[in-house]
Structure 1
Amino acid sequence: MTWLITGGAGYIGSHVVKAMTEGGERVVILDDLSTGTKERVPDGIPLEVGTVLDRALLDRVLREHAITGIVHLAGKKQVAESVARPLYYYRENVEGLRNLLAAAVDAGVTRFLFSSSASVYGMPDVDLVTEDTPCQPMSPYGETKLAGEWLVSSVGAAHGLATASLRYFNVAGAATPELADEGVFNLVPMVFERLTAGEAPRVFGDDYATPDGTCVRDYIHVEDIASAHLAAARRLASDPSAALVLNIGRGEGVSVSEMVAVIQDITGIAEPAPVITERRPGDPARVVASAGRIRDELGWAARHDVRAMVTSAWSGWTLRH
């Protein structure tokens, strides 16, 4: 098979490319380079520059590279931005996906793997979120991911595509320093930025219904995210009737305050102490995965703990700063 990986020059996408190529899969990357970079693309891997909104480009890429499967990671992912710009998020994430699926169907692509998000769940009142937990997204970003899952499922059923949607939780870490997250949108790089500037890390709200009042999340190493994509791609390749929806998580909750403490310990920068600021719109109190179904379906389990995530991310940060 030859897999098209959209968003393959980005943070998560480049790790998926690494895992799949090292696993012996043939891949082609499509990326508009809005957040991805050419430097992340390995030598010898074709890079097509453009957006999934460009149907003519998609038709050419799918035809010229004889694509038989797609791993779709391209999209916009900032919760607060989605609240402020819902039309933009629906265009990029839903219309972009619809366009890609239409091109895939016309090109005879038979496998489709969609990178979804735990944001589809919203704020579930459960200790562990299973794939059967009702989805009630709290932001336009989460809505676009849930709509994307519905679209992938419907198109798969109607046109005979094997499909999988992977709902991953809070991503951190890096396989190598060169592939570390260059954006400052997720908690770990946000804290790195503040600490290295001599500024207090910010904690967005301490009045949630959690043990220490700060949000609780299931942090997952990006290498584990990538290995789950490889496992899912292989399952789709071997099972033409697959229609999977799976969590990717560790099943362990870590609060924001706990995570900041780990970061300060590993960086060796204990001061200044964190400051509490207002809640961010769309942030649920607790979201922790049940990872039982992905273990049963794919034989996959996370390998890395929180300290490994932070240590690898810190190596990448210090390389660039």
Structure 2
Amino acid sequence: MILVTGGLGMIGAHTARALLDLGHDVVVTAHRRGEVPAFLAGRVTVEALDVTDRAAFLALGERHAITDIVHLAGSIPGENPVDFFRTDTAGLLNALDAARAWGVRRFAVASSLGVYFGRPEIPWTEGLSLPTAALPHLIIAFKKAVEPLTTHSLAGSGVQPVVLRIGTIWGPLVDPESPFCPIPPLVNAALRGSEPPTLHAEDGGDVCYAPDAGRAIALLTTAETLRHDTYNVSSGRRFTYGEFAEVLKLDLAPGRANGPGEDPYLDISRLTEDTGFKPQFDVAASVADYVAWRAEHPR
């Protein structure tokens, strides 16, 4: 059985679905979010868990024969950054403790494309040295710390770490007004018949539809062998907001907001070579799928 912490969140739920579709039994943990998405209902075991509770975390291993862990649980920063770092670090360390105690085969953990901020090369590849740069958000700062904490904690344990440098993900279960990706607000403007957010047609960058991201993580978790401990997870191409606006029949400002240049995106050659992953959703297919989902669901 594979454990997905934060498994009712957007990325976690799509990862759980992909693992189920591959034929694996899955248990997901949930803390604040209790509603099970329609595509998981009746298919997945749900455990209520505060991942900062070490004893409760380790007790999961007494109820389930867990073979692999995908650690995606995380919190949203409040006013005190120390509280955020304390909470998410405790959750990570408890998950790592569990991985070692249970002797799981593989431990996959969420990092972020933000770890590359400051690198001028495009696309971003896993072989780039991570720069010392100012980071725009506390979550990205934590994700950058997650990587060495995970690999050093599992060294010599027999548990294989898999660092997931996850790109810009959107799709079913995303916050319709997400501050991290303009695509959901753009699509929701079309659904409401309201003015789209202020975007320029030639701006864009890294975008991946959530079912594709979940499938990529599932493949990395279950692959027979992996040659690396770090993988980019995204679509592997640069998108523009104009591509989405064309499908949605919306008008955006022409050109780029800040003049000529390139927008970074993640190279997924390593992911494809080791798992065979290829995205199944292009712009039109992702928009159609999301619009159909939103016809029956609030987010």
Change (3 A) 1:94 1:299: same
**For the residues of structure 1 that align with 2:193 and 2:143, how far apart are their CA atoms?**
36
TM-score (norm 1): 0.78
Q: Show the counterpart of 1:71.
A: 70
Query: Which of residues 117, 139, 142 is equivalent to 1:141?
Result: 139
Q: TM-score, normalised by structure 2?
A: 0.84
Structure 2 residue aligned with 1:282 = none
Determine the C-alpha separation between the residues in 2 that align with 1:249 and 1:233.
Answer: 15
Q: What's the CA shift string for 1:124-165, capped at 9, x where partnerless?
A: 212210002232444221121121111111122132211211
> Greater shift after overlay, 188-197 or 149-158?
188-197
Amino acid across the alignment from 1:24: G
Give the secondary-structure state (helix, strand or coil) at the position aligned to 1:158.
Answer: coil
Alignment-derived partner of residue 273 in structure 2: 296
Query: How far apart, CA to CA, are the structure 1 residues paired with 2:84 and 2:198?
Result: 26
Aligned match for 1:310, one of 277, 287, 294: 287
The answer as to whether partners of 1:169 and 1:289 remain within 8 angstroms in 2 is yes
1:250 aligns with 2:235: yes
Change (3 A) 1:223 1:198: closer
Identity of aligned residues (%): 24
Aligned twin of 2:82 = 87
**Which structure features the higher share of helix residues?**
1
Once residues 293 and 103 of structure 2 are traced to their aligned partners in structure 1, the CA distance between those partners, rounded to angstroms, is 40
Cα distance, 1:135–1:320 mapped onto 2, change above 3 Å: same
- SS, match of residue 120 in structure 1: helix
Q: Is the 8 A contact 2:123 2:264 kept in 1?
A: yes
Q: Contact 2:99/2:159 (CA < 8 Å) preserved in 1?
A: no
Looking at structure 1, the residues matched to 162 and 13 of structure 2 have their Cα atoms a distance apart, in angstroms, of 19
RMSD between aligned residues: 2.9
Q: Which residue in the other structure is 2:177 paired with?
A: 184
- Aligned equivalent of 1:232, options 179, 199, 220: 220
Aligned to 1:286: 263
- Runs (5+) with no aligned partner, structure 1: 175-179, 280-284
Between stretches 182-191 and 46-55, larger displacement belongs to: 182-191
1:200 and 2:195 aligned? yes
Distance 1:44 1:297, change over 3 A: closer
Partner of residue 219, structure 1: 207
Return the offset for 1:123.
Answer: 4.0
CA deviation string 1:3-43 (max 9, x = no partner): 11111112221111111111111111111134x62345431
Task: Name the structure 2 match of 1:19.
Answer: 18
Of residues 112, 115, 123, the one that matches 1:120 is 115
Q: Does the Cα contact within 8 Å between 1:246 and 1:293 map onto a contact in 2?
A: yes
| Alpha-carbon contact 2:227-2:274 (below 8 Å) kept | no
